[in-house]
Amino acid sequence: MAGPVVITKEMALTRAGFFRGIAKALGTDAYVETAGGIVLEQDGRRLEITLGPERQRKIALMVIEIMDVTLVFSGYSEADRTAALAVFDRAFQRGGG
């Protein structure tokens, strides 16, 4: 397997919202909270998720809370990483599309 794969996403999410949904997104609550996010070590694989600072995006009169979320996958095959990322995205999907 190759080295770690880093994926950064801008998400319409707050820290509180992240921690409310992360167990569902990972399919487990066996992660460790860190100062900047979480670390999940399982079956010889490691997923580290780091949360950036919260900020706001304004579109007309609408205000959306956003932050950057960085996922670092180590020891994941491409298929496992793709599957884990799909579950993560689905767990935090909001609205229509």
Q: Please tell me the pTM assigned to this model.
A: 0.90
Q: Give the pLDDT confidence score for residue 95 in this predicted structure.
A: 67
Q: Is residue 96 part of a domain?
A: no
What average pLDDT score do residues 70-77 get?
96
Domain that holds residue 13: 5-91
Q: Give the pLDDT confidence score for residue 21 in this predicted structure.
A: 93
**Any residues with CB less than 8 A from the CB of 88 and at least 6 apart, and which?**
25, 26, 71
Q: Give the pLDDT confidence score for residue 93 in this predicted structure.
A: 86
**φ, ψ at 77 (rounded to 5°):** -70, 165
Q: Is residue 97 part of a domain?
A: no
pLDDT band at 2 (very low <50, low <70, confident <90, very high): low
Q: What is the CATH number of the domain that holds 19?
A: 3.30.1370
pLDDT in tens, 6-64: 999 999 999 999 999 999 999 999 999 999 999 999 989 999 999 999 999 999 999 99
Count structural domains, the chain.
Answer: 1
- How many Cα atoms within 13 Å fall on the side-chain side of residue 27? 11
